[in-house]
Amino acid sequence: MNKIKYDKLVSECEKELQPIFQKIDEQEYQNSLKVLNAFKELNISESDFNGTTGYGYGDIGRDKIDKVFAKVLGSEDAIVRSQFISGTHALTVCLFGLLRPNDLLLSITGKPYDTLDEVIGIKENPSSLKSFNIKYDQIDLINDNFDIPQIIKYLKDNKVKVIEIQRSRGYSTRNSITIDKIKTVVAEIKKISPETIIMVDNCYCEFVSDIEPVNSSIGCDIMVGSLIKNLGGGIASNGAYIAGRKDLINLVAERLTVPGQGAEVGPSQNMNKEILSGLYHAPSAVSSSLKTMILTSLILEKLNYKVSPSSSDIRADIVQTITFNDPNKLIKFIQSIQKYSAINANFKPIPEDMPGYSDQVIMASGSFIQGSSIEISCDGPLRFPYIAYLQGSLTYQYGKIAIVNSIWELINEER
Protein backbone atom coordinates (compact mmCIF):
# COMPACT_ATOMS: atom_id res chain seq x y z
CA MET A 1 0.00 0.00 0.00
CA ASN A 2 1.36 3.45 -0.84
CA LYS A 3 1.05 6.52 1.37
CA ILE A 4 -1.76 8.08 -0.69
CA LYS A 5 -3.86 4.93 -0.41
CA TYR A 6 -3.09 4.69 3.31
CA ASP A 7 -4.12 8.28 3.98
CA LYS A 8 -7.34 7.64 2.09
CA LEU A 9 -8.01 4.56 4.21
CA VAL A 10 -7.50 6.61 7.39
CA SER A 11 -9.92 9.34 6.32
CA GLU A 12 -12.52 6.77 5.27
CA CYS A 13 -12.22 5.13 8.67
CA GLU A 14 -12.70 8.45 10.42
CA LYS A 15 -15.77 9.18 8.33
CA GLU A 16 -17.23 5.76 9.05
CA LEU A 17 -16.76 6.32 12.78
CA GLN A 18 -18.67 9.60 13.04
CA PRO A 19 -21.87 8.06 14.47
CA ILE A 20 -19.85 6.24 17.15
CA PHE A 21 -17.85 9.39 17.93
CA GLN A 22 -21.10 11.28 18.37
CA LYS A 23 -22.25 8.79 21.01
CA ILE A 24 -18.92 9.22 22.81
CA ASP A 25 -19.45 13.00 22.75
CA GLU A 26 -22.86 12.56 24.38
CA GLN A 27 -21.27 10.40 27.05
CA GLU A 28 -18.61 13.04 27.65
CA TYR A 29 -21.35 15.65 28.01
CA GLN A 30 -23.13 13.62 30.68
CA ASN A 31 -19.95 12.97 32.64
CA SER A 32 -18.90 16.62 32.37
CA LEU A 33 -22.27 17.63 33.75
CA LYS A 34 -21.77 15.29 36.71
CA VAL A 35 -18.36 16.83 37.48
CA LEU A 36 -19.59 20.40 37.17
CA ASN A 37 -22.63 19.74 39.36
CA ALA A 38 -20.44 18.19 42.05
CA PHE A 39 -18.06 21.20 42.02
CA LYS A 40 -21.01 23.52 42.41
CA GLU A 41 -22.72 21.50 45.10
CA LEU A 42 -19.56 21.40 47.19
CA ASN A 43 -18.84 25.03 46.48
CA ILE A 44 -15.32 24.41 45.24
CA SER A 45 -13.48 27.71 45.70
CA GLU A 46 -10.03 29.05 44.98
CA SER A 47 -9.17 28.78 48.67
CA ASP A 48 -9.63 24.98 48.43
CA PHE A 49 -6.40 24.87 46.44
CA ASN A 50 -4.48 25.83 49.58
CA GLY A 51 -3.22 22.51 50.87
CA THR A 52 -1.86 21.55 54.23
CA THR A 53 1.51 20.22 55.35
CA GLY A 54 2.65 17.93 58.16
CA TYR A 55 -0.21 15.90 59.62
CA GLY A 56 -2.72 17.48 57.27
CA TYR A 57 -5.34 18.30 59.91
CA GLY A 58 -8.25 20.43 58.72
CA ASP A 59 -7.49 20.17 55.03
CA ILE A 60 -10.73 21.64 53.74
CA GLY A 61 -9.89 21.22 50.05
CA ARG A 62 -8.88 17.58 50.53
CA ASP A 63 -12.08 16.81 52.42
CA LYS A 64 -14.15 18.45 49.69
CA ILE A 65 -12.29 16.42 47.04
CA ASP A 66 -13.30 13.20 48.80
CA LYS A 67 -16.92 14.37 48.62
CA VAL A 68 -16.67 15.52 44.99
CA PHE A 69 -15.38 12.08 43.94
CA ALA A 70 -18.12 10.33 45.92
CA LYS A 71 -20.73 12.54 44.30
CA VAL A 72 -19.39 12.05 40.76
CA LEU A 73 -18.98 8.28 41.18
CA GLY A 74 -22.33 7.86 42.91
CA SER A 75 -20.93 6.38 46.14
CA GLU A 76 -21.55 7.13 49.81
CA ASP A 77 -17.96 8.15 50.48
CA ALA A 78 -14.50 8.26 48.93
CA ILE A 79 -10.86 8.75 49.84
CA VAL A 80 -8.62 10.45 47.28
CA ARG A 81 -4.98 10.78 48.21
CA SER A 82 -1.56 11.41 46.75
CA GLN A 83 -0.30 9.13 49.53
CA PHE A 84 -1.54 6.24 47.40
CA ILE A 85 1.53 5.78 45.23
CA SER A 86 -0.22 3.77 42.51
CA GLY A 87 -3.36 1.88 41.63
CA THR A 88 -1.72 -1.29 42.97
CA HIS A 89 -1.02 0.44 46.27
CA ALA A 90 -4.66 1.54 46.60
CA LEU A 91 -5.84 -2.01 45.78
CA THR A 92 -3.39 -3.34 48.40
CA VAL A 93 -4.61 -0.89 51.05
CA CYS A 94 -8.19 -1.82 50.21
CA LEU A 95 -7.57 -5.57 50.51
CA PHE A 96 -5.56 -5.27 53.74
CA GLY A 97 -8.15 -2.85 55.10
CA LEU A 98 -11.08 -5.20 54.51
CA LEU A 99 -9.62 -8.66 55.15
CA ARG A 100 -8.64 -10.25 58.49
CA PRO A 101 -6.79 -13.52 59.27
CA ASN A 102 -8.79 -16.62 58.20
CA ASP A 103 -10.99 -14.56 55.87
CA LEU A 104 -11.47 -15.69 52.29
CA LEU A 105 -10.92 -13.53 49.22
CA LEU A 106 -12.52 -14.72 45.98
CA SER A 107 -11.78 -13.31 42.53
CA ILE A 108 -14.62 -13.98 40.07
CA THR A 109 -12.75 -12.60 37.06
CA GLY A 110 -9.94 -15.15 37.07
CA LYS A 111 -6.41 -14.27 38.08
CA PRO A 112 -6.09 -10.61 39.09
CA TYR A 113 -3.69 -8.05 37.66
CA ASP A 114 -0.03 -9.19 37.64
CA THR A 115 1.16 -6.73 40.28
CA LEU A 116 -1.27 -8.26 42.81
CA ASP A 117 0.41 -11.70 42.70
CA GLU A 118 2.73 -10.91 45.59
CA VAL A 119 0.06 -8.90 47.42
CA ILE A 120 -2.34 -11.85 47.51
CA GLY A 121 0.40 -14.48 47.85
CA ILE A 122 -0.22 -16.19 44.48
CA LYS A 123 3.52 -15.63 44.27
CA GLU A 124 5.14 -16.15 47.68
CA ASN A 125 6.02 -13.03 49.62
CA PRO A 126 6.50 -12.74 53.39
CA SER A 127 4.31 -9.61 53.43
CA SER A 128 1.42 -11.03 51.39
CA LEU A 129 -2.19 -11.48 52.51
CA LYS A 130 -1.44 -15.21 52.52
CA SER A 131 1.30 -14.68 55.11
CA PHE A 132 -1.44 -13.28 57.39
CA ASN A 133 -3.44 -16.46 56.76
CA ILE A 134 -5.91 -14.78 54.45
CA LYS A 135 -7.11 -17.34 51.94
CA TYR A 136 -7.56 -16.79 48.24
CA ASP A 137 -9.50 -18.56 45.54
CA GLN A 138 -10.64 -17.69 42.03
CA ILE A 139 -13.37 -18.55 39.57
CA ASP A 140 -12.47 -18.01 35.95
CA LEU A 141 -14.63 -16.24 33.41
CA ILE A 142 -16.26 -18.40 30.75
CA ASN A 143 -16.13 -16.78 27.31
CA ASP A 144 -15.74 -13.41 29.02
CA ASN A 145 -18.84 -13.94 31.15
CA PHE A 146 -19.17 -14.54 34.88
CA ASP A 147 -19.58 -18.21 35.71
CA ILE A 148 -22.74 -17.53 37.70
CA PRO A 149 -23.69 -21.16 38.53
CA GLN A 150 -20.18 -21.77 39.88
CA ILE A 151 -20.22 -18.50 41.85
CA ILE A 152 -23.57 -19.40 43.42
CA LYS A 153 -22.37 -22.87 44.34
CA TYR A 154 -19.14 -21.49 45.80
CA LEU A 155 -21.00 -18.96 47.95
CA LYS A 156 -23.32 -21.68 49.26
CA ASP A 157 -20.34 -23.82 50.27
CA ASN A 158 -17.99 -21.12 51.60
CA LYS A 159 -18.10 -17.96 53.66
CA VAL A 160 -16.52 -15.32 51.42
CA LYS A 161 -15.50 -12.01 52.99
CA VAL A 162 -14.51 -10.13 49.82
CA ILE A 163 -15.25 -10.77 46.17
CA GLU A 164 -12.96 -9.01 43.72
CA ILE A 165 -14.07 -8.06 40.22
CA GLN A 166 -11.40 -6.71 37.88
CA ARG A 167 -13.07 -4.90 35.01
CA SER A 168 -10.20 -4.12 32.68
CA ARG A 169 -8.30 -6.96 31.08
CA GLY A 170 -4.83 -6.33 32.53
CA TYR A 171 -2.29 -8.34 30.52
CA SER A 172 -4.84 -11.01 29.59
CA THR A 173 -6.68 -11.62 26.33
CA ARG A 174 -10.20 -11.36 27.68
CA ASN A 175 -12.63 -8.50 27.14
CA SER A 176 -13.31 -5.89 29.78
CA ILE A 177 -16.41 -6.28 31.92
CA THR A 178 -19.39 -4.07 31.14
CA ILE A 179 -21.54 -2.48 33.80
CA ASP A 180 -24.56 -4.61 32.76
CA LYS A 181 -22.69 -7.84 33.43
CA ILE A 182 -21.63 -6.52 36.84
CA LYS A 183 -25.19 -5.55 37.70
CA THR A 184 -26.41 -9.08 36.93
CA VAL A 185 -23.74 -10.89 38.93
CA VAL A 186 -24.02 -8.52 41.89
CA ALA A 187 -27.77 -9.19 42.15
CA GLU A 188 -27.07 -12.95 42.26
CA ILE A 189 -24.31 -12.60 44.88
CA LYS A 190 -26.41 -10.38 47.14
CA LYS A 191 -29.27 -12.89 47.06
CA ILE A 192 -27.09 -15.65 48.50
CA SER A 193 -24.49 -13.77 50.51
CA PRO A 194 -25.52 -10.18 51.25
CA GLU A 195 -22.70 -9.70 53.76
CA THR A 196 -19.94 -10.44 51.19
CA ILE A 197 -18.15 -7.24 50.24
CA ILE A 198 -17.99 -6.73 46.48
CA MET A 199 -14.86 -4.86 45.53
CA VAL A 200 -14.09 -3.64 42.02
CA ASP A 201 -10.74 -2.92 40.43
CA ASN A 202 -12.08 -0.12 38.23
CA CYS A 203 -8.75 0.91 36.66
CA TYR A 204 -9.24 2.29 33.10
CA CYS A 205 -13.04 2.12 33.30
CA GLU A 206 -14.11 5.42 34.86
CA PHE A 207 -16.28 7.60 32.62
CA VAL A 208 -16.33 5.01 29.83
CA SER A 209 -20.01 4.53 30.59
CA ASP A 210 -22.39 6.90 32.37
CA ILE A 211 -22.57 4.92 35.60
CA GLU A 212 -19.95 3.43 37.93
CA PRO A 213 -20.15 0.07 39.77
CA VAL A 214 -20.56 1.68 43.22
CA ASN A 215 -23.74 3.46 42.19
CA SER A 216 -26.59 2.08 44.32
CA SER A 217 -28.42 0.85 41.22
CA ILE A 218 -25.47 -1.46 40.44
CA GLY A 219 -24.66 -2.40 44.02
CA CYS A 220 -20.89 -2.90 44.35
CA ASP A 221 -19.62 -1.97 47.80
CA ILE A 222 -16.23 -0.46 47.05
CA MET A 223 -14.05 0.32 44.04
CA VAL A 224 -10.50 1.40 43.35
CA GLY A 225 -8.79 3.34 40.59
CA SER A 226 -5.62 5.24 39.76
CA LEU A 227 -5.21 8.97 39.21
CA ILE A 228 -2.55 8.44 36.55
CA LYS A 229 -5.31 6.81 34.55
CA ASN A 230 -8.82 8.06 33.72
CA LEU A 231 -9.83 10.24 36.65
CA GLY A 232 -6.55 12.15 36.88
CA GLY A 233 -7.22 13.57 33.42
CA GLY A 234 -3.49 13.67 32.69
CA ILE A 235 -3.08 16.43 35.27
CA ALA A 236 -2.93 14.75 38.68
CA SER A 237 0.74 13.90 39.05
CA ASN A 238 0.13 10.83 41.21
CA GLY A 239 -2.39 9.25 43.57
CA ALA A 240 -5.44 7.03 43.54
CA TYR A 241 -8.96 6.90 44.91
CA ILE A 242 -11.15 4.40 46.69
CA ALA A 243 -14.92 5.00 46.64
CA GLY A 244 -17.76 3.12 48.26
CA ARG A 245 -19.66 2.45 51.48
CA LYS A 246 -18.82 4.82 54.32
CA ASP A 247 -17.95 2.08 56.85
CA LEU A 248 -15.60 0.42 54.34
CA ILE A 249 -13.92 3.70 53.35
CA ASN A 250 -13.24 4.25 57.03
CA LEU A 251 -11.55 0.84 57.27
CA VAL A 252 -9.30 1.50 54.28
CA ALA A 253 -8.51 5.04 55.50
CA GLU A 254 -7.34 3.58 58.82
CA ARG A 255 -5.15 1.14 56.93
CA LEU A 256 -3.67 3.86 54.73
CA THR A 257 -2.94 6.10 57.73
CA VAL A 258 -3.49 5.15 61.37
CA PRO A 259 -6.26 3.40 63.32
CA GLY A 260 -8.16 6.21 65.01
CA GLN A 261 -7.03 8.84 62.51
CA GLY A 262 -8.17 7.54 59.12
CA ALA A 263 -9.08 10.18 56.57
CA GLU A 264 -8.59 13.04 59.06
CA VAL A 265 -4.87 13.09 58.33
CA GLY A 266 -2.78 13.14 55.16
CA PRO A 267 -1.50 16.51 53.95
CA SER A 268 -2.56 17.41 50.44
CA GLN A 269 0.48 19.72 50.16
CA ASN A 270 -0.08 21.31 46.75
CA MET A 271 -2.13 18.54 45.15
CA ASN A 272 -5.69 19.83 45.60
CA LYS A 273 -5.70 22.01 42.50
CA GLU A 274 -4.12 19.25 40.40
CA ILE A 275 -6.64 16.66 41.54
CA LEU A 276 -9.61 18.95 40.93
CA SER A 277 -8.31 20.15 37.59
CA GLY A 278 -7.59 16.53 36.63
CA LEU A 279 -11.12 15.42 37.44
CA TYR A 280 -12.44 18.41 35.49
CA HIS A 281 -10.50 17.31 32.39
CA ALA A 282 -11.17 13.58 32.84
CA PRO A 283 -14.42 13.28 30.82
CA SER A 284 -12.68 14.86 27.82
CA ALA A 285 -9.49 12.79 28.24
CA VAL A 286 -11.51 9.57 28.40
CA SER A 287 -13.50 10.60 25.34
CA SER A 288 -10.31 11.38 23.36
CA SER A 289 -8.81 8.08 24.45
CA LEU A 290 -11.85 6.13 23.33
CA LYS A 291 -11.92 7.81 19.92
CA THR A 292 -8.19 7.16 19.44
CA MET A 293 -8.63 3.46 20.34
CA ILE A 294 -11.65 3.03 18.08
CA LEU A 295 -9.84 4.63 15.14
CA THR A 296 -6.89 2.32 15.79
CA SER A 297 -9.10 -0.74 15.81
CA LEU A 298 -10.90 0.15 12.58
CA ILE A 299 -7.72 0.92 10.62
CA LEU A 300 -6.10 -2.30 11.82
CA GLU A 301 -9.21 -4.36 11.09
CA LYS A 302 -9.12 -3.11 7.51
CA LEU A 303 -5.48 -4.16 7.36
CA ASN A 304 -6.41 -7.65 8.66
CA TYR A 305 -4.83 -7.37 12.09
CA LYS A 306 -6.36 -9.07 15.10
CA VAL A 307 -7.64 -6.41 17.49
CA SER A 308 -9.79 -6.42 20.61
CA PRO A 309 -12.25 -4.83 21.18
CA SER A 310 -13.38 -4.47 17.57
CA SER A 311 -14.33 -1.02 16.31
CA SER A 312 -18.03 -1.79 16.78
CA ASP A 313 -17.87 -3.52 20.20
CA ILE A 314 -19.30 -1.86 23.28
CA ARG A 315 -16.33 -0.81 25.37
CA ALA A 316 -15.92 -0.91 29.14
CA ASP A 317 -12.40 0.53 29.31
CA ILE A 318 -9.92 2.63 27.32
CA VAL A 319 -7.61 -0.25 26.40
CA GLN A 320 -7.07 -1.57 22.87
CA THR A 321 -5.15 -4.74 22.19
CA ILE A 322 -3.39 -5.71 19.00
CA THR A 323 -2.18 -9.29 18.60
CA PHE A 324 1.02 -9.47 16.59
CA ASN A 325 2.06 -13.13 17.01
CA ASP A 326 5.59 -11.82 16.47
CA PRO A 327 7.91 -10.24 19.06
CA ASN A 328 9.63 -8.01 16.51
CA LYS A 329 6.40 -6.44 15.31
CA LEU A 330 5.33 -5.83 18.90
CA ILE A 331 8.64 -4.14 19.72
CA LYS A 332 8.61 -2.11 16.50
CA PHE A 333 5.06 -0.85 17.06
CA ILE A 334 5.72 0.17 20.66
CA GLN A 335 8.91 1.95 19.63
CA SER A 336 6.91 3.89 17.03
CA ILE A 337 4.34 4.99 19.62
CA GLN A 338 7.21 6.34 21.72
CA LYS A 339 8.54 8.19 18.68
CA TYR A 340 5.23 10.05 18.26
CA SER A 341 4.83 10.90 21.95
CA ALA A 342 5.37 14.34 23.49
CA ILE A 343 8.14 13.54 25.96
CA ASN A 344 11.24 11.44 25.31
CA ALA A 345 10.31 11.07 21.64
CA ASN A 346 13.93 10.24 20.89
CA PHE A 347 14.08 7.35 23.35
CA LYS A 348 13.86 3.84 22.02
CA PRO A 349 12.17 1.56 24.57
CA ILE A 350 13.44 -2.02 24.87
CA PRO A 351 12.01 -5.04 26.73
CA GLU A 352 12.99 -4.98 30.41
CA ASP A 353 12.40 -6.76 33.71
CA MET A 354 9.89 -4.79 35.78
CA PRO A 355 9.08 -5.14 39.49
CA GLY A 356 5.77 -6.98 39.91
CA TYR A 357 5.71 -8.51 36.42
CA SER A 358 6.87 -12.03 35.60
CA ASP A 359 7.75 -11.55 31.91
CA GLN A 360 9.91 -8.85 30.40
CA VAL A 361 7.78 -5.86 29.46
CA ILE A 362 8.28 -3.18 26.81
CA MET A 363 6.61 0.17 27.45
CA ALA A 364 6.15 3.33 25.42
CA SER A 365 5.20 6.14 27.73
CA GLY A 366 6.16 9.52 26.34
CA SER A 367 4.07 11.18 28.98
CA PHE A 368 4.25 14.29 31.16
CA ILE A 369 3.70 12.09 34.18
CA GLN A 370 5.90 9.01 34.60
CA GLY A 371 3.95 5.87 33.73
CA SER A 372 0.75 7.80 33.03
CA SER A 373 -1.49 5.74 30.80
CA ILE A 374 -4.31 8.21 30.25
CA GLU A 375 -1.75 9.82 27.96
CA ILE A 376 -1.09 7.86 24.77
CA SER A 377 0.92 4.85 25.86
CA CYS A 378 1.53 1.30 24.79
CA ASP A 379 3.01 -1.69 26.53
CA GLY A 380 3.19 -5.41 26.28
CA PRO A 381 4.77 -8.42 27.94
CA LEU A 382 7.24 -10.36 25.82
CA ARG A 383 5.23 -13.55 25.72
CA PHE A 384 3.17 -15.33 23.12
CA PRO A 385 0.95 -14.20 21.34
CA TYR A 386 2.82 -10.87 21.57
CA ILE A 387 -0.01 -8.51 22.33
CA ALA A 388 0.33 -4.72 22.48
CA TYR A 389 -1.86 -2.97 25.06
CA LEU A 390 -2.52 0.51 23.75
CA GLN A 391 -4.38 3.11 25.75
CA GLY A 392 -5.04 6.76 26.42
CA SER A 393 -4.58 10.06 24.64
CA LEU A 394 -5.29 13.42 26.18
CA THR A 395 -6.51 14.76 22.84
CA TYR A 396 -7.82 12.90 19.81
CA GLN A 397 -5.46 14.71 17.44
CA TYR A 398 -2.30 13.74 19.34
CA GLY A 399 -3.62 10.20 19.55
CA LYS A 400 -4.33 10.14 15.84
CA ILE A 401 -0.83 11.37 15.00
CA ALA A 402 0.72 8.61 17.11
CA ILE A 403 -1.36 5.72 15.88
CA VAL A 404 -1.67 6.66 12.21
CA ASN A 405 2.11 7.08 11.90
CA SER A 406 2.89 3.98 13.96
CA ILE A 407 0.60 1.80 11.87
CA TRP A 408 2.13 3.23 8.70
CA GLU A 409 5.62 2.34 9.93
CA LEU A 410 4.42 -1.13 10.86
CA ILE A 411 2.98 -1.95 7.44
CA ASN A 412 5.96 -0.40 5.68
CA GLU A 413 8.29 -2.61 7.66
CA GLU A 414 6.44 -5.64 6.35
CA ARG A 415 7.00 -4.87 2.69
Region from 20-28, 152-160, 197-205, 213-221 binding ligand PLP, contact rule CB under 6 A? 197-205
**Residue numbers 10-29 binding ligand PLP by CB under 6 A:** none
- How far is it between the farthest Cα atoms of the chain? 67
61 vs 239, beta carbon nearer ligand PLP? 239
Count, in order, helices (H) and strands (E) of the chain: 11, 12
Q: Please work out the total of residues on this chain that contact ligand PLP, with binding judged by CB under 6 A.
A: 12
Q: How far is the CB of 288 from ligand PLP (least distance, A)?
A: 18
Q: How far is the CB of 91 from ligand PLP (least distance, A)?
A: 6
Q: Which of 51, 56, 61, 87 binds ligand PLP (CB under 6 A)?
A: 87
Q: Is 166 in the site for ligand PLP (CB under 6 A)?
A: yes
Q: How far is the CB of 197 from ligand PLP (least distance, A)?
A: 18
Q: Phi and psi at residue 236, in whole multiples of 5°?
A: -65, 125
83 vs 168, beta carbon nearer ligand PLP? 168
Q: How far is the CB of 185 from ligand PLP (least distance, A)?
A: 17
Rounded Cα–Cα distance for residues 194 and 138 (Å): 19
Q: Is 86 in the site for ligand PLP (CB under 6 A)?
A: yes
Q: How far is the CB of 52 from ligand PLP (least distance, A)?
A: 25
221 vs 317, beta carbon nearer ligand PLP? 317
Q: What angle do CA 28, 230, 319 make, to 5 degrees?
A: 95
- The pairing of strands 77-81 and 240-244 is antiparallel
**Residue numbers 101-130 binding ligand PLP by CB under 6 A:** 113, 115
Q: How far is the CB of 94 from ligand PLP (least distance, A)?
A: 11
61 vs 392, beta carbon nearer ligand PLP? 392
Region from 3-11, 17-25, 102-110, 201-209 binding ligand PLP, contact rule CB under 6 A? 201-209
Region from 11-19, 94-102, 196-204, 338-346 binding ligand PLP, contact rule CB under 6 A? 196-204
- Chain centroid to CA 161: 24
Q: Are 227 and 250 in contact (CB under 8 A)?
A: no
CA nearest 135: which of 164, 109, 166, 161?
Answer: 161
Q: Is 391 in the site for ligand PLP (CB under 6 A)?
A: no
Q: Which of 31, 168, 296, 372 binds ligand PLP (CB under 6 A)?
A: 168
Rounded Cα–Cα distance for residues 292 and 295 (Å): 5
Q: How far is the CB of 9 from ligand PLP (least distance, A)?
A: 31
- Alpha-carbon separation of residue 116 from 79, 303, 324, 339 (angstroms): 21, 36, 26, 31
**Residue numbers 170-189 binding ligand PLP by CB under 6 A:** 170
**Which residue's C-beta sits nearest to ligand PLP?**
87
201 vs 206, beta carbon nearer ligand PLP? 201
- Give every strand in the sheet of 162-166, ordered side by side: 77-81, 240-244, 222-226, 197-201, 162-166, 104-107, 135-138
CA nearest 209: which of 239, 230, 187, 233?
Answer: 230
CA nearest 226: which of 213, 238, 208?
Answer: 238
Q: How far is the CB of 338 from ligand PLP (least distance, A)?
A: 18
Region from 82-90, 208-216, 250-258, 361-369 binding ligand PLP, contact rule CB under 6 A? 82-90
Rounded Cα–Cα distance for residues 229 and 11 (Å): 29
44 vs 369, beta carbon nearer ligand PLP? 369
Q: How many CA atoms lie within 13 A of 227 on its CB side?
A: 30
DSSP H helices in 111-226:
117-120, 148-157, 179-192
39 vs 204, beta carbon nearer ligand PLP? 204
Rounded Cα–Cα distance for residues 349 and 41 (Å): 45
Q: Which of 226, 296, 341, 395 binds ligand PLP (CB under 6 A)?
A: 226
- Alpha-carbon separation of residue 42 from 37, 67, 282 (angstroms): 9, 8, 18
Q: Are 31 and 286 in contact (CB under 8 A)?
A: yes
- Chain centroid to CA 59: 27
Region from 19-27, 93-101, 166-174, 297-305 binding ligand PLP, contact rule CB under 6 A? 166-174
Q: Which of 31, 52, 88, 292 binds ligand PLP (CB under 6 A)?
A: 88
Q: List residues near ligand PLP by CB under 6 A.
A: 86-88, 113, 115, 166, 168, 170, 201, 203-204, 226
